């Protein structure tokens, strides 16, 4: 979260609660990864709360910074396209999403390698947490990262999932234009808000299925 430790812990707790509720609404095994996204965002925000508190403790700062980066740099480009792929039923779209999954896996492995080779540090900048990670900002890597984490939503045949992708792209542009120095933290905060839309996706879907079964 881009404001304070308190804000991160509050957001993390709220998102975790939403995440548990979302998982409970998943009716099929293939839906569980997508339903898990809000909970994972909640955990990520809780970790950033620890990052905020860790600047007076170098060891804790290193551990929490790397833990946060495992989510922001490695998990999301791999996990998001896989979660969407598992929901997709259209054969053509599934093939495209498999390509996106490969892209996300390549990006995640690439960033994981350089995180451990060159390290990553966090610092407070403009009242936000800045994660110093130059490899993410290589034009090709950042483009492929956006394909995996944002464009994957647009490939889905479900309109509500498409809406999530549109909001993801809008939040990406907003974070990039107005919070470039603390882009990772701010974009992850915006993306975390989308967890509530994912909850609504399952809530709406279950409601429609209940009506059809009446």
Could you list the pLDDT tens digit for every one of the 214 residues in the chain? Answer: 556 888 889 888 988 999 999 999 998 999 999 999 999 999 998 999 999 999 999 999 999 999 999 999 999 999 999 999 999 999 999 999 999 999 999 999 999 999 999 999 998 887 778 888 878 778 899 899 999 999 999 999 999 899 989 988 888 787 766 666 666 777 766 766 788 889 888 888 777 777 666 6
Buried b (16+ CB within 10 A) or exposed e, 27-66: eeeebebbbbbbbbbbbbbbbbbbbbebeeeeeebeebbb
**CA-to-CA distance for 181 and 173, rounded, in angstroms?**
13
Element (H, E) at 22: helix 5-25
Longest dimension (CA), the chain: 59
Helix (H, G, I), strand (E, B) or coil at 85: helix
Element (H, E) at 12: helix 5-25
Element (H, E) at 11: helix 5-25
The 3 state secondary structure assigned to 44-75 is HHHHHHHHHHCCCCHHHHHHHHHHHHHHHHHH
Angle between helices 32-53 and 195-213 (to 10 degrees): 160
Vertex 17 angle, CA 15 and 57, to 5°? 60
Q: How far is CA 135 from CA 44, 70, 73, 75, 112, in A?
A: 21, 14, 10, 16, 10
Token representation of residue 81 = 């396209």
Total-model pTM: 0.89
By CB atoms closer than 10 A (0-12, 13-18, 19+), residue 117 is exposed
């Amino acid at each position: 979260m881009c404001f304070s430790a308190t804000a991160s812990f509050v957001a993390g707790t709220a998102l975790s609660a939403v995440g548990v509720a979302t998982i409970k609404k998943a009716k099929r095994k293939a839906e569980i990864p997508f339903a898990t996204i809000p909970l994972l965002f909640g955990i990520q925000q809780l970790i950033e709360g620890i990052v905020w508190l860790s600047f007076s403790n170098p060891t804790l700062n290193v551990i929490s910074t790397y833990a946060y980066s495992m989510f922001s740099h490695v998990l999301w480009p791999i996990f998001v396209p896989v979660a969407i792929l598992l929901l997709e039923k259209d054969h053509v779209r599934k093939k495209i999403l498999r390509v996106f999954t490969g892209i996300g896996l390549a990006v995640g492995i690439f960033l994981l390698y350089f995180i451990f080779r060159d390290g990553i540090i966090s610092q407070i900048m403009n009242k936000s947490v800045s994660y110093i990670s130059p490899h993410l900002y290589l034009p090709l890597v950042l483009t492929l990262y956006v394909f995996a984490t944002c464009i994957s939503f647009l490939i889905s045949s479900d309109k509500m999932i498409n809406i999530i992708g549109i909001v993801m792209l809008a939040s990406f542009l907003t974070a990039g234009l107005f919070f470039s120095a603390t882009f990772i933290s701010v974009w992850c905060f915006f993306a975390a808000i989308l967890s509530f839309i994912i909850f609504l996706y399952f809530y709406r879907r279950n409601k429609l299925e209940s009506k059809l079964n009446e």
